[in-house]
Amino acid sequence: MQTLSLIVLTSIVLYVVRLYVEYRRNMKTIRNYPGYRTFLSSSSIFANLLPQIPGIATGRLNLWRSKHDDFEYFGSDIFSVVNMWPTSNLSFRVADPVAIKEITSTRALWPKPVERYQGLKLFGSNIVVTENDEWKKHRRVANPAFSERNNRMVWEETVKIVNDMFDNDWRDRAEIEVDHCVNITLKLALLVIGSAGFGRSISWDNDLQIPPGHQMSFKDALHIVSVDIIYKLAVPDWAMGLTKKLRTVKLAFDELRMYMQDMINERRDTEKRTERYDLFSSLLDASAEDSDGMAKLSDSELTGNIFIFLLAGHETSAHTLCFCFALLALYQDEQETLLKHINTVLVDRRTPEYKDMPKLTYSMAVLYETLRLFPPVNGIPKKAAEDFSLSTSMTSGEKRVIPVPRGSVIILHVPGIHYNPKYWKDPHEFKPKRFLEDYNRDAFIPFSAGVRSCIGRRFSETESIAILTTIVQKYKIEIKDEPQFANETFDERRERILRCKAGITLSPVRVPLVFKRRVEGP
């Protein structure tokens, strides 16, 4: 018995020694570059359940909450994270635009750690979960779908959908109160992606009938998949039937898969092809058979990509617009400046057209400032494919070269760079005009950067500018008065209205607003 105990104790001691040796080796490799040093690995589930305990756990390194604070604490726009258990690992957080440009410009040296994204293969392989030649194939097929012709359609469909909301939901009322603005923006984004993404016009007021062979309408399936994807990602397949909610989510995913396959079959079997410019049709056309009779993408890859564009284009746009309206309601002077600009472009309150988009510079500035303050994705991971080094300047002015060993994880810290006072004066303030002046474009990465930047950026910008301009042109936006908050200061109100939580994307908690119809002049 004593011999067994001795063997167990010796094994534990040897294991701890090995961990410590690896930890010291990592520290020596990076020359003890400043950063977090903890026993528990930040990648372990247990460590993320704990609060931040110096030397023990970083807790969940909340990139949004810390913004640029951690970088200021460590005196550098790059800091390291070295952990010991269950394995000694090494990672870096980066808020230096020069380093970020170097990382995103050399994709082969800094690939995407696609293993972190395998959960997004729900409908098939796609542009997000692939790398190297396979990624190039997806990108090559997807590129033609995001064309100028498609962007024009996005604009026209978006304006039509907003006006449909005015006519059939708001019904010319003088005031529209909403308990949470995201309920409006999510539905707007849903209808836009349904029309411009799938080529299926869905009325604001009416649902579509459920076709034979289906148990749920396309609109409902699309909405549930967009809003409740977290359940599908977090709950194993065998447990998806345990509750009514989970069964509904599972049904929605099954239904959306069937609808997309129906659309593929229908459009392939149609003898006379109707000219369609929606994203789904464009992807289908771009993936037609090549000279060897081989489809460029399989059916599962087609549905995988359209699902990713749905996920990326629906929730992110909806949340950004919600933050946008919240900021304009808080900062009435900025809203008035935006309205005056819109009226100079759209004389006599005419309906905005796609050709007006380049002239709506203040609308774009408001959108960009919102994206700077509330970036949808807070951390963009990369991985060092080989031993490398990054250069940065310490707060003291000292230049440092940071060794980055092969396999190290690099997180492009989006709030860190968006709130970096070196590149943004008064970074916590809402100042859209900064985007009408010279600014460091490498310090603005809401759509990532480099060749793997968001392929749907123009789609998102077109949709958002059309919604923002059309609503502000006709309605004044204010914070909804609630008796329990009657005595709060502006700072307290701002904190309450802009409160958010980090999920798949950065999400507003509750934004109660009032939309007041503007009185037309003589």
Handedness of CA 304, 307, 312, 315 (dihedral sign): negative
Cis ω for the linkage preceding 86 (within 30 of 0): yes
* 317, two tokens: 């746009």
Single out the residue of 428, 417, 450, 384 nearest to residue 135, CA to CA: 450
Give the number of C-alpha atoms closer than 13 A to the C-alpha of residue 453, restricted to the C-beta side: 17
Residue 93 bridge partners (DSSP): 79, 411
Distance of alpha carbon 101 from alpha carbon 110, whole angstroms = 11
**What 3-state DSSP class applies to 335?**
helix
**Residue 78, CA distances (Å) to 65, 98, 203, 362 in order:** 17, 11, 49, 33
Is the separation of the CB atoms in 50 and 56 below 8 Å? yes
- For residues 332 and 339, give the distance between their C-alpha atoms in angstroms, rounded to a whole number: 10
Per-residue tokens: 213: 């062979």
Structure tokens at 321: 């617009």
Q: Is 454 annotated as a binding residue?
A: yes
Closest to 88 in 3D by CA, of 182, 19, 31, 159: 19
CB of 323 within 8 A of CB of 373? yes
Q: How many angstroms from the chain centroid is the CA of residue 291?
A: 37
Tokens of 43: 């990648």
Q: How far apart are CA 491 and CA 308, in angstroms?
A: 37
Provide the 3-class DSSP secondary structure of residue 410.
Answer: strand
Pairing status of strand 90-94 against strand 506-508: unpaired
Beta strands 506-508 and 500-502, pairing class? antiparallel
Q: To 5 degrees, how large is the angle CA 372–CA 390–CA 419? A: 20
What is d(CA 192, CA 467) in angstroms, rounded to the nearest whole number?
Answer: 10
Helix locations, 30-111, DSSP H:
45-49, 63-66, 69-74, 97-105
CB 508 within 8 A of CB 182: yes
Task: Specify the length of the chain in residues.
Answer: 522
Q: Is 86 helix (H, G, I), strand (E, B) or coil?
A: coil
Strand-strand pairing, 388-393 and 399-404: antiparallel
- Annotation: binding site for heme: 454
- Annotation: binding site: 454
